[in-house]
């Protein structure tokens, strides 16, 4: 006669009753390091992330340069190239959303998130670490893109401090959008769906803005939408900080266009607050 017994469930590491902010940050940085090492092992991710913005720079500079009227500069192709770069920079940081969506969806599908659950770590650290890693990757891509833009004709005219402030606004916007990507990645069933879901809404967001053409050139009903677009505030804000606006340029009357740096920072902080809350809540429900 044999006696059988159920196998004991795998032991879990005890989770601290109360995780401090410092512990949560340490956990987030560990997860960020894991994702960065993974990115280094797959350099194609960074390379392909650079191809699209470089193509946009070249195509828009030489195909549309000289055919788009810039207030204060007319059809000057050199003025358009400097005008364009703020839009390309902002578009590049927001397109990191798709990478965040796909990465989190892949981790969910492969069960890596379940492994994190067994560790005594902050619940939100998995998402925060992922967004930190995506932000680091975005910063590298921005740096390379800025170097590539110099031969095309882009220059910074307002000094080092304003240049750093401009890139700071761009990275803040990019970080905000990675939280949107995190929520999308947690809401779909596959990395393929996450990639599509992370991109499909970005095209109207970036093109219905002042990224590539001034709002003055748009139909009367469309211009206010572009001017109140959070993306537009960042684009105009970095153009102003970089000194890429023509001397005779006058910003539209909409509040975000009159105060673009403040509007950009406020929009980004609100997006982070809203989507981080929803993403962490979604993550906790998904992982039990």
**pLDDT tens sequence across 166-185:** 999 999 999 999 999 999 98
| SS3 label, residue 1 | coil
Q: Is 263 domain-assigned? A: yes
In 3D space, the residue among 192, 42, 35 whose CA is nearest the CA of residue 125 turns out to be 35
Return mean pLDDT, the chain: 84
Is 2 inside any structural domain? Answer: no
Q: Is residue 83 part of a domain?
A: yes
Q: Is residue 101 part of a domain?
A: yes
Six-digit token pair at 111?
């069960």
In the chain, how many H helices and how many E strands? Answer: 13, 0
Give the range among 14-28, 115-129, 149-163, 239-253 with minimum mean pLDDT.
Answer: 14-28
Q: Which of 172, 99, 132 is nearest to 28 (CA)?
A: 132
State mean pLDDT over 60-83: 80
pLDDT digits (tens, 9 = 90+) for 27-59: 888 888 887 887 777 777 777 777 878 888 888
pLDDT for res 65: 74
Q: For the chain, what is the domain count?
A: 1
- Which domain covers residue 261, as residue numbers? 21-286
Q: Where are the alpha helices (DSSP H) in the chain?
A: 21-41, 44-59, 77-94, 96-110, 112-117, 125-152, 159-187, 191-199, 202-207, 223-227, 230-242, 255-258, 260-286
Note whether residue 12 is domain-resident.
Answer: no
Residue 5 pLDDT more than 50? Answer: no
- Kindly state whether residue 14 falls inside one of the protein's structural domains: no
C-alpha atoms less than 13 angstroms from C-alpha of 245 in its C-beta half-sphere: 18
Is residue 253 in a domain? yes
In a domain, 9, yes or no: no
- Take residue 233 and report the two structure tokens written for it: 């505030």
């Amino acid at each position: 006669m044999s006696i059988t017994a159920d196998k004991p469930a795998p032991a879990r590491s005890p989770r601290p009753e109360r995780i401090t902010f410092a512990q949560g940050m340490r956990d987030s940085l560990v997860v960020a390091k894991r994702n960065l090492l993974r990115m280094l092992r797959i350099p194609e991710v960074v390379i392909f992330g650079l191809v699209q913005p470089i193509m946009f720079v070249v195509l828009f500079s030489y195909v549309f340069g000289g055919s788009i009227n810039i207030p204060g500069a007319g059809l000057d192709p050199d003025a358009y190239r400097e005008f364009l770069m703020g839009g390309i920079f902002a578009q590049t940081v927001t397109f990191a959303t798709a990478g965040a969506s796909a990465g989190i969806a892949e981790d969910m599908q492969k069960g890596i998130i379940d492994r994190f659950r067994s560790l005594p770590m902050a619940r939100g650290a998995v998402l925060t670490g992922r967004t930190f890693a995506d932000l680091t990757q975005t910063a590298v891509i921005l740096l390379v893109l800025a170097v590539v833009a110099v031969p095309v004709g882009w220059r910074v005219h307002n000094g080092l401090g304003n240049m750093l402030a401009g890139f700071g606004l761009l990275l803040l916007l990019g970080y905000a959008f990675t939280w949107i990507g995190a929520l999308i990645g947690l809401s779909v069933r596959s990395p393929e769906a996450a990639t599509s879901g992370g991109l499909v809404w970005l095209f109207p967001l970036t093109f219905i803005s002042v990224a590539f053409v001034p709002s003055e050139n748009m139909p009367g009903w469309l211009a206010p939408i572009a001017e109140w677009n959070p993306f537009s505030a960042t684009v105009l804000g970095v153009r102003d900080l970089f000194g890429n606006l023509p001397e005779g340029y006058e910003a539209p009357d909409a509040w975000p266009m009159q105060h673009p740096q403040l509007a950009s920072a406020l929009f980004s902080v609100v997006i982070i607050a809203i989507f981080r809350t929803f993403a962490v809540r979604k993550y906790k429900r998904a992982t039990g």
